């Protein structure tokens, strides 16, 4: 009996141990499943919170002007109560985008950054990092300036705008009569030719084949008559089809091409030698200046543009005016810096950059031609889009 009893006890003990093992195994499985489910729930909730925050921030940036409306002009960023980048719904104000970028890179206080201040306004301080990039319809990041890649930059002896393009991550090409010192992150090797007529022809051919969206021509003495007539005609067609053309300190070319009412529908004249101060009369995305400020330069004669309605000139938008006595040979307002639309394209005229100041500041540093790419905030992780 005792033996039988012992056998029964052994059987009971073995069954019990097996049951316990199975129970613990099931508990472990249930725990793992619950833990996994809980993590999934938490991940889903976190993802939803991120999406909601991103949507709220995007709506605020793209659909509002911010508060106050002129927040981008405030030096004390503590006075900003909300950031909006729009002039109207889904139409960005580039000046506000630029200021937003400046704030993201600046120091707010001795212990807090502008990035922190923006995070605070977004309501995500301590929760999330953020990154904002501004791209065109092709998905290419745009710059703080007016240029649209790919860009061709032609310079003959002076390279004032080189700093706006080089090593900025832009897709650009360089055409020059002699290569200045330095390294260049151009899309193709710099094209160098001391025969400036041939250099200009190469530029125009490349502009057609490579489909440059922006062409910048600085400090040239090109003559659009004679051997360059075909190249100048092609340039005209490029602008008519949508190319942005920026011309700086132009001599013969300005007179014979840009200021030819029969070609680009604009008139121009050469100033006398006494004009030294030029007021800003309109704000524009190309220039970081407010109405009432003035550009100053040493006295010298320069070409300025004006609209002569009797010749059928296109409407001229003057940014910086030449209202000196040396600019009054005709009854029309003269533009030292201006633009006009031609077909689907636009032409910017900048009469001079070298040794020009803007109320004591560097004129060049306040020109938004190229400049840095519009990306701000914390860098995205590798492979993240």
Highest-confidence segment of 50-59, 63-72, 134-143:
63-72
Please check whether residues 306 and 357 belong to one and the same domain. yes
| Whether pLDDT at 5 is above 50 | no
pLDDT tens, position by position, 204-248: 999 999 999 999 998 877 777 778 889 989 999 999 999 999 998
What's the rounded mean pLDDT across residues 110-128? 87
Of 366, 338, 150, 148, the closest CA to residue 247 belongs to: 338
**Residue 141 resides in a domain:** no
Q: Is residue 275 part of a domain?
A: yes
The pLDDT of residue 35: 59
Pairing of strands 277-279, 214-220: unpaired
Stretch 172-183: mean pLDDT: 93
Lowest mean pLDDT among 21-30, 170-179, 264-273, 342-351: 21-30
- Render pLDDT for 81-98 as a digit per residue (tens, 0 to 9): 999 988 877 677 878 888
CA distances (Å), 99 to each of 54, 61, 287, 292, in order? 20, 13, 13, 20
pLDDT at 327 over 70: yes
- Is 142 contained in some domain? no
Helix boundaries (H) for the chain: 2-63, 94-105, 114-122, 162-165, 196-210, 229-240, 252-253
Give the structural domain span for 110.
Answer: 64-129
Alpha carbon of residue 260 to chain centroid: 31
The answer as to whether 28 is a domain residue is no
Please list, in sequence order, all residues whose beta carbon lies within 8 angstroms of the beta carbon of residue 101, skipping any fewer than 6 positions away.
144, 372, 374, 376
In a domain, 92, yes or no: yes
How many whole angstroms separate alpha carbon 212 and alpha carbon 209?
Answer: 8
98 inside domain: yes
240 plus 91 within the same structural domain = no
Longest dimension (CA), the chain: 134
Confidence of residue 3 (pLDDT cuts 50, 70, 90): very low
| CA separation, residue 373 to residues 144, 229, 232, 277, 313 (Å) | 6, 36, 31, 32, 35
Averaged pLDDT score across all residues of the chain = 82
Give a yes or no: residue 302 inside a domain: yes
DSSP structure string for 14-81: HHHHHHHHHHHHHHHHHHHHHHHHHHHHHHHHHHHHHHHHHHHHHHHHHH--EESTTGGG-S-GGG--
Whether residues 84 and 186 share a domain: the answer is: no
Q: Of the ranges 160-169, 335-344, 366-375, which one carries the lowest mean pLDDT score? A: 366-375
Contacts of 216 (CB under 8 A, 6+ apart): 147, 151, 152, 153, 154, 161, 165, 245, 246, 247, 248, 369
What average pLDDT does this structure show over 180-202? 92
In terms of domains, do 239 and 121 share one? no
Per-residue pLDDT, 34: 58
Residue 342, beta-bridge partner list: 345
CATH number at residue 249: 3.40.50
Average pLDDT of the segment spanning 28-36: 58
Q: Answer whether residue 11 shows pLDDT above 50.
A: no
Both 69 and 179 in one domain: the answer is no
Tell me which of 235 and 265 has the higher pLDDT. Answer: 235
pLDDT at 358 over 50: yes
Q: Which contiguous run of DSSP H or E holds residue 133?
A: strand 131-133
């Amino acid at each position: 009996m005792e033996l039988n009893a012992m056998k029964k006890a052994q059987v009971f003990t073995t069954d019990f141990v097996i049951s316990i093992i199975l129970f613990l195994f099931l508990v472990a499985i249930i725990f793992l499943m619950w833990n996994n489910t809980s993590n999934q729930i938490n991940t889903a909730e976190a993802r939803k919170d991120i999406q909601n925050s991103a949507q709220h921030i995007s709506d605020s940036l793209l659909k509002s002007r911010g508060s106050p409306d002129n927040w981008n002009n405030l030096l004390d960023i503590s006075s900003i109560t909300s950031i909006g980048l729009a002039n109207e719904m889904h139409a960005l104000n580039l000046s506000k985008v630029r200021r937003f970028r400046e704030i993201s890179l600046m120091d707010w206080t001795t212990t807090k950054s502008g990035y922190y201040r923006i995070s605070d306004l977004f309501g995500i301080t301590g929760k999330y990092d953020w990154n904002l990039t501004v791209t065109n319809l092709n998905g290419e990041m745009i710059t703080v300036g007016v240029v649209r890649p790919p860009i061709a930059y032609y310079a003959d002896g002076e390279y004032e705008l080189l700093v706006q393009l080089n090593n900025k991550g832009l897709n650009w090409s360089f055409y020059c009569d002699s290569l200045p010192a330095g390294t260049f992150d151009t899309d193709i090797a710099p094209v160098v030719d001391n025969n400036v007529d041939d250099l200009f022809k190469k530029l125009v051919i490349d502009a057609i084949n490579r489909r440059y969206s922006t062409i910048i021509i600085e400090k040239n003495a090109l003559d659009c008559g004679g051997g360059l007539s075909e190249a100048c005609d092609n340039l005209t067609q490029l602008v008519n089809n949508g190319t942005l053309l920026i011309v700086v300190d132009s001599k013969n070319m300005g007179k014979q091409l840009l200021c030819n009412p029969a070609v680009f529908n604009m008139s121009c004249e050469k100033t006398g030698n006494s004009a030294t101060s030029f007021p800003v009369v309109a704000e524009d995305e190309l220039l970081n200046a407010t109405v009432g400020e003035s550009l100053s330069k040493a006295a010298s004669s320069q070409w300025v543009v004006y609209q002569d309605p009797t010749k059928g000139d296109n409407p001229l938008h003057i940014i910086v005016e030449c209202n000196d006595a040396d600019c009054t040979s005709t009854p029309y307002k003269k533009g030292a810096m201006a633009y006009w639309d031609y077909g689907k394209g636009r032409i910017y005229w900048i009469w001079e950059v070298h040794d020009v100041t803007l109320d004591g500041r560097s004129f060049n540093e306040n020109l938004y031609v190229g400049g840095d790419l519009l990306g701000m905030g914390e860098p995205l992780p590798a492979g993240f889009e």
